Amino acid sequence: MVIRMRHTRAHTKNRRSHHALKAPMLAVCSNCGEKHRPHYMCQTCGFYNGRMVIDMKAKTAKREARMQSKKDAISGQQVEAAAEAEALPEAETADKK
Ligand SMILES: [Zn+2]
């Protein structure tokens, strides 16, 4: 309903009495005891209805490995850039002499 005119305070408060947020209803995982959305797979262990749907341990390990390789690549690039930055001034000074 659209508010077109000024209402009394009681009218405004009556309308806003339905605006409160409700806490989400969460189920407890039967495998790990963590809370999860009902009728959804547990995001912590990957179980649903007492059965493993997704191997979350393997997934997190894979992700960690990927992030680590990414970090290594970035730090390797930084080392190369630092080495180049160190090498450049020497080359410039050599040209001036
Ligand atoms: Zn779980």
Which pLDDT does position 97 carry in this prediction? 46
In the predicted structure, residue 1 carries a pLDDT above the cut 70 = no
In the predicted structure, residue 95 carries a pLDDT above the cut 80 = no
Residues with CB under 5 A from ligand 1 (ion): 29, 31-32, 34, 42, 44-45
Centroid of chain to Cα 13 = 37
DSSP string, 32-88: T--EE-TTS--TTT-EETTEESS-HHHHHHHHHHHHHHHHHHHHHHHHHHHHHHHHH
Q: What is the pLDDT of residues 20-64, one digit of tens each?
A: 999 999 999 999 999 999 999 999 999 999 999 999 999 999 999
Place of tokens 């680590």: 68
Helices (H) and strands (E) in the chain — how many of each? 2, 4
C-alpha 71 – ligand 1 centre gap (Å): 30
Q: What is the DSSP letter of 22?
A: P
Q: What is the pLDDT of residues 71-88, one digit of tens each?
A: 999 998 888 888 888 887
pTM above 0.85, yes or no: no
